[in-house]
A and B are shown apart, each in its own frame.
Chain A
Amino acid sequence: DAMVIQNPRYQVTQFGKPVTLSCSQTLNHNVMYWYQQKSSQAPKLLFHYYDKDFNNEADTPDNFQSRRPNTSFCFLDIRSPGLGDAAMYLCATSRDQAGGPSEQYFGPGTRLTVT
């Protein structure tokens, strides 16, 4: 089945130790997203790629970076995680359709713990 896969599902890192979260998709969608979601809150968009074009949200900290080496893969790098970065990180995809993006397809998320 076509899907969005996130690895790992659970990640524990130490304060200040760089960490990379991975996302892959078999849907061949041209748009990929990274969201941060904290407990009982709505997902917060960090950035998205339209094809290879990177679109950063104005309030996304510089500590968060992303790479999309090809259509299928996208990575979220947190350069120096702080305790406040502990959250669920969600990857999603969508595609072009008339009048804007289609619905989004979400991965299961990676829960990041910072010790």
Chain B
Amino acid sequence: SQQGEEDPQALSIQEGENATMNCSYKTSINNLQWYRQNSGRGLVHLILIRSNEREKHSGRLRVTLDTSKKSSSLLITASRAADTASYFCALPPSGTYKYIFGTGTRLKVLA
């Protein structure tokens, strides 16, 4: 399967703690993106990291990319109850405009 793999599948933390989720993939890529999905809604783009970048920050989000290991991680610092959602990595294989999604991580932040 070309689907990306994410771990953990589910994560439950207390408000204020950090949350880390990981994505592994098999193909070569131009960039890798992370999305958030609140229950029953569309996906919202969080951050895009290009294949020649190793780390990127956006507010409380930090993304790393290791193309040699074909893996990426998303760190959410100082989590809030509003961060409760499913998080997906998505990557377009090189030379294509299609996307492969990871299996997703369900994050629950307890107030």
A-B contact count (CB 8 A): 69
Cβ A101 vs Cβ B92 within 8 A: yes
- Size of interface on A: residues with Cβ below 8 Å to B: 29
Cβ B103 vs Cβ A104 within 8 A: no
Does B48 belong to the interface (CB within 8 Å)?
Answer: yes
What's the Cα separation between A100 and B92 when bound, in Å?
8
Does B18 belong to the interface (CB within 8 Å)?
Answer: no
Q: Which of B62-111 contact A (CB under 8 A)?
A: 88, 90, 92, 94-104, 106
Minimum CB–CB distance from A21 to chain B (whole Å) comes to 14
Shortest Cβ distance from B33 into A: residue: A103
Does B31 belong to the interface (CB within 8 Å)?
Answer: yes
Does B50 belong to the interface (CB within 8 Å)?
Answer: yes
Chain A residues, Cβ within 8 Å of B45: 103-106
What's the Cα separation between A40 and B90 when bound, in Å?
16
Chain B residues, Cβ within 8 Å of A40: 106
Cβ A104 vs Cβ B90 within 8 A: yes
Q: Which of A11-19, A41-49, A62-70, A74-82 contacts B (4 or more CB under 8 A)?
A: A41-49
The answer, among B44, B98, B103, B104, for a CB contact under 8 Å with A48, is B98
Does B30 belong to the interface (CB within 8 Å)?
Answer: yes
The answer, among B41, B44, B94, for a CB contact under 8 Å with A100, is B94
Cβ A90 vs Cβ B30 within 8 A: no
A 55-97 binary contact with B (CB < 8 Å = 1; else 0): 1010000000000000000000000000000001010101000
Cβ B102 vs Cβ A108 within 8 A: no
Minimum CB–CB distance from A49 to chain B (whole Å) comes to 9
Cβ A106 vs Cβ B92 within 8 A: no
Shortest Cβ distance from A31 into B: residue: B97
What's the Cα separation between A39 and B45 when bound, in Å?
20
Chain A residues, Cβ within 8 Å of B42: 4, 90, 106-109
Residues of B within 8 A of A (CB): 3, 30-31, 33, 35, 40-45, 48, 50-51, 88, 90, 92, 94-104, 106
